Amino acid sequence: MKDTRAAIRYAKAILDIAVDNKATADVENDMRTVVKTISDSKELKNMLASPIVKAEDKKKALTTIFKGAHAISEGLIKLLVDNRRIGMLNEVALKYIILNEQLKGQDVAVVTTAVPLTKDLEKKILVQVAQITGNEVTIQNKIDEDIIGGFILRIGDLQFDASVANKLNNLKREFTNSL
């Protein structure tokens, strides 16, 4: 929870700087590249989370990997390394994308499922979420096998949890309370 709040603070700060410099689109492209690169590389995830790897080595590796990124994006990486928060780079990038989409009048609906969404199901979700929010919506599908089945829909601060794991936890809680 702390990391999420901190990630939102960093993302808001970077967004403010990007707005002031009229570079929101460039920084968003960089953040999308960061998210894709980190999600595609297990080694990079492990390196960022590792307390054994020195901060300077992480900074060198990341500046090499994301060479050519906007100065604001490079500054974010350096800041996170200096503050010993580089492990949350992916989370900050995701939060930045969401905040920037909201700034443009678009919402990002994060749908967590046990298996990838089909195109048909994605279209149905888009229609329903657009009706609820009244904004243009894009869907980001996260895969989490721990939810067993169903889905978790998150739009901004709103969350609807229709996962099997949540229903099982509710049943367990009811049984425990009734004893």
Q: What is the pLDDT of residue 1?
A: 46
Q: Is 93 in the same domain as 149?
A: no
pLDDT (mean) for 14-28: 91
Q: Is 6 in the same domain as 75?
A: yes
Scanning 21-148, the segments in alpha helix (DSSP H) are 24-40, 42-49, 55-65, 71-82, 89-103, 119-133
Q: Is 111 in the same domain as 94?
A: no
- The domain containing residue 71 runs over which residues? 2-101
* Of 83, 101, 119, the domain-final residue: 101
Residue 134 has pLDDT above 80, yes or no: no
What is the reported pTM? 0.65
* Of 55, 82, 101, the domain-final residue: 101
Query: What is the rounded distance in angstroms from the CA atom of residue 63 to the CA atom of residue 61?
Result: 6
Q: Is 155 in the same domain as 70?
A: no
